[in-house]
Structure 1
Amino acid sequence: MSTPSQPQFTIHVIDTGDSVLLAACGELDVHTAPGLDRALTPLHTRRCELDLFDVPFADSSGINLLIRHQRRAAAAGGSLHVIAVSRPVRRVLDISGTSHCLLLDAGKPPPETGPGPS
């Protein structure tokens, strides 16, 4: 009998001095959101940019986490914006009404290529 493996979700952090870029890869859901939570928590006073282009799926727990951290960052003098997003995640942001506050360029259409449903 094999045990199910944990979902693969990685976060690469690049600190440029002026800002912090976090590039995520994998599904953002109730199982993987704690990892992003741990990465964002110490950065509330910084300007953070989040690249979700390689995230093919995000559920409500992931979107809730982003909104929560954006509010905490603003209260601490920092910021959090999504700078790149896959089509499926952009759709979730649009449907949930959060794209206008999370996306750095909410008016920009989603890319024609990139991760899609498998």
Structure 2
Amino acid sequence: MSQTPRSPALRVHQYARNDSWVVAAEGELDAETLAPLQQALEEAAATRPVVVFDASAVPFADSSTLNLLLRIHRTTTLRIAAAQPQLLRVLEITGADMALALFPSLTDACKAAAS
């Protein structure tokens, strides 16, 4: 019996940049891997007025990610930086791209947070 290969573990990094707090994820985001990102975003949203989610190293994100981003958006100023095409497509299909602040790069998202 063969097993379905698991995607590599998600890595999450956090740091201050300009007047915002950056939470960067590396890896695929789904219900099984989302916990570290969820914890980091929830903690940042509870203590920071501006949170930037750096999605530049996220090749895949499912509906659990969308749900998390919308929940965080309701609790702080959330900016999404450098989302890859698959995540952008999910946001567009659901209309979430109209509610969330999307930026083409981390630099743009952090500049917007500083102004």
> Normalising TM by the smaller chain, what interval?
0.7 to 0.9
Tell me the equivalent position of 2:11. 10
1:1-118 paired onto structure 2 within 5 Å: 7-16=8-17, 18-44=19-45, 45-46=47-48, 47-73=50-76, 79-105=77-103
**Cα distance in 1 between the residues matched to 2:31 and 2:52:** 21
Q: List structure 1 segments (4+ residues) > 6 angstroms apart after TM superposition.
A: none
Maintained 8 Å contact 1:67/1:102: yes
Structure with the bigger percentage of helix: 2
For this pair of structures, how many residues does the alignment match?
A: 101
Please state whether the residue corresponding to 2:37 is helix, strand or coil.
helix
Q: What's 1:113 paired with?
A: none
With normalisation by structure 2, the TM-score equals: 0.75
Q: CA deviation at 1:7?
A: 3.9
Q: In structure 2, what residue type is equivalent to 1:100?
A: M
Secondary structure of 1:58 counterpart: coil
Structure 1: gaps (5+ residues): 74-78, 109-118
TM-score (norm 1): 0.74
Separation of aligned partners in 1, 2:24 and 2:35: 15
- Sequence identity (%): 40
In structure 2, the residue corresponding to 1:85 is in which secondary structure?
coil
Aligned-CA RMSD value: 2.3
